[in-house]
Amino acid sequence: MTGVGVLGHGALGHAIAQALGSGQVPGARLVGIAGRRLSDDLECLARACDCAALDAPSALPALGARLIVEAAGASAVREHALPLLEAGCDVILMSTGALGDAALLARLKDAATAHGRKIYLPSGAIAGLDGIRAAMEAGVETVRITTRKHPRALAGSPYLDEHPLDLAGLAEARVIFEGSARDAIAGFPSNVNVSLTLATLVGSPDRVQVRIIADPHAEMTQHRIEVTAASGTMAIDVANQPSPLNPRSSWLAALSAIAMVRQLVAPIWIG
């Protein structure tokens, strides 16, 4: 039985903790959920999941966690991923935007190597990373992701402070950003982690081009990934139900973390 801890109890953390706490993944045992502070919401979730509620993840290893699922934000990755690796835990990271910081990524990889641990990046709200990984063996030339979300999922993004736009008044779909994954994650830190997952796979946030479309008619969040490679081309389209708790995040992202835990504890690896 692998002890698992969850960091974050928002939209993704809730769904991941509930799945693990209810025994949906045989072989994985949820030992605790950590937030920034204890709250009624966190304690209620932990009670429902029959595990500990914590105000920091540092106590998770002592509770028996060997695998931590981070679903808390880039600041949590910066603060907690390194000490958790050093404490002997493998980490699944959802807030992959943090990895746009090359120095942080290098420190995390060094710590994982030194302590014999692994850092896992789930496919999150997209698909097709297996195919892109295979294509990279012969060389990937271009990677582009187009993300289409309802304006309510994009409101409040830092990019809009400097490029004001009446999102609520949009009548038609509009391209609101085009640029590198590096610039995209700085401007939309809660919306395009997927572009940094792609960038981490292909080696640099400057190698992934991002286009963001605000679409008042979009009921689903859509991501289209286009790749040109020596081996051929790929076009991957995903249309996701937004999480009922947070319209910025796709439900599929939480499911990808649960599926990754299942894959890690299973005796067979597919894909």
Ligand X SMILES: O=C([O-])CC(=O)C(=O)O
The binding site for ligand X (CB under 6 A) comprises: 124-125, 190-194, 221, 240, 248-250, 253
What's the token pair of residue 162? 């400097």
Q: Is 163 exposed, middle or buried (0-12, 13-18, 19+ CB in 10 A)?
A: exposed
Which one of ligand NDP, ligand X, none interacts with residue 240, CB within 5 to 8 A by kind? Answer: ligand X
Please say which residue, 49 or 125, places its beta carbon nearer to ligand NDP: 125
72 is in an annotated binding site: no
Q: Quick one: which H or E segment has residue 141?
A: strand 140-149
- Residues 18-37 as x/- pattern, contact with ligand NDP by CB under 6 A: -----------------xx-
Q: Is 17 in the site for ligand NDP (CB under 6 A)?
A: no
CB of 173 to ligand NDP, least distance (A): 21
- Residues 82-121 as x/- pattern, contact with ligand NDP by CB under 6 A: ------------xxx-------------------------
Q: Which of 13, 100, 128, 187: binder of ligand NDP (CB under 6 A)?
A: 13
CB of 60 to ligand X, least distance (A): 24
Q: Active-site residue 150, yes or no?
A: no
**44: Cβ–Cβ under 8 A, 6 or more apart, which residues?**
none
3-state secondary structure 163-219: CCCCHHHCCCCEEEEEEEHHHHHHHCCCCCHHHHHHHHHHCCCCCEEEEEEECCCCC
Please say which residue, 3 or 151, places its beta carbon nearer to ligand X: 151
**113: Cβ–Cβ under 8 A, 6 or more apart, which residues?**
none
Q: Rounded to whole angstroms, how far apart are CA atoms 193 and 270?
A: 24
- Residues 180-219 as x/- pattern, contact with ligand NDP by CB under 6 A: ----------x--xx--x----------------------
**76: Cβ–Cβ under 8 A, 6 or more apart, which residues?**
7, 8, 70, 95
Beta bridge partners of 67: 4, 90
52 is in an annotated binding site: no
The residues assigned a catalytic role are 223
Residues making up the binding site for NAD(+):
125, 193
